[in-house]
Amino acid sequence: MNLFKGTGVALVTPFNADMSIDFPALRRLVQEQISGGTNYLVVQGTTGESPTLNSEEKKQVLETVFEANKGTLPIVYGVGGNNTVEVAETLRTIPKGVDGILSVAPYYNKPTQAGYIAHYKALASATDLPIILYNVPGRTGSNVLAETTLELAEIKNIVAMKEASGNLEQIMEIIRCRPEGFLVLSGDDAITLPLIAAGADGVISVVANSFPVQFSQMVASALNGDFETARKLHYDLLPVTRLLFAEGNPGGVKIALEKLGWMKPYMRLPLVQVSDALKAKIVEETIKLMKID
């Protein structure tokens, strides 16, 4: 689906010092994405610290994004888990205004490939919304193989895979064999450009939270075949991209967002703020990239 081509941003959840949600900062973040060229918003993914938000807070975050977005950009909502029945029940209650679902592969249980297929078939039957699969073995503990993705890609409302395995050969096999219209999206900011060069359709990005203009321009240039421009932007972004993930996500990107004046860097436990040494490096690279004081 063209709806999910280009740059999607996995929105962070801003917090106040008392760990309540900072809704004005969230509105500001959405507005910065709209003006910065982001193609769609992803709400309540891992970057949004979704495991630490209760159901009412998740509802409030989604409503705030609706309000700030005003129908401008498509909205993808993160709904995943390792209890298939519970995830399916949640999918049946998704409010109007959500354009697609991002659903991470079940974690901790470590299902077989047949288990992944049965899980996602159950989810696809629980909603008419388009579903983006999400393979991130570093978090889930097991890998969704290319042949599994390709089998699931034949299901009508399974429309894309966010691939964060880091396995270029696996990702290229999906691109090579996918059915027409099935999107492959990078789940790793640092290798988005090479994946687009190999035929991928875009990214769901963390870095674009803080640098939406540069990141969306890099992706758009690459998709349009202007690799000279895309390479320059890629290498401009690469140093800060490495730093943003050096001590986990979203700790790094929240430091950049603080330097930009968009929010404070607070996170809910068990996540803690990055070290002072890393913070200094992120601030330095943010100043350099954004040409600010």
Which one, of 167, 189, 192, 164, lies nearest residue 107 by Cα? 164
Q: Among 5, 162, 259, 279, which one carries the catalytic annotation?
A: 162
How is residue 148 written in tokens?
């599994």
* 58 labelled catalytic: no
The C-alpha atoms of residue 190 and residue 106 are separated, in whole angstroms, by 25
SS3 category, 186: strand
How many Cβ atoms from other residues are within 10 Å of residue 255's Cβ? 24
* DSSP secondary structure, 3-51, as one string: GG-EEEEE----B-TTS-B-HHHHHHHHHHHHHHT--EEEESSGGGTGG
The C-alpha atoms of residue 187 and residue 166 are separated, in whole angstroms, by 8
* 77 labelled catalytic: no
Backbone phi, then psi, for 28, in 5-degree steps? Answer: -60, -45
Quickly count helices (H) and strands (E) in the chain.
Answer: 12, 8
Backbone phi, then psi, for 277, in 5-degree steps? Answer: -65, -45
How many Cβ atoms from other residues are within 10 Å of residue 261's Cβ? 9
> What residues are labeled active site?
134, 162
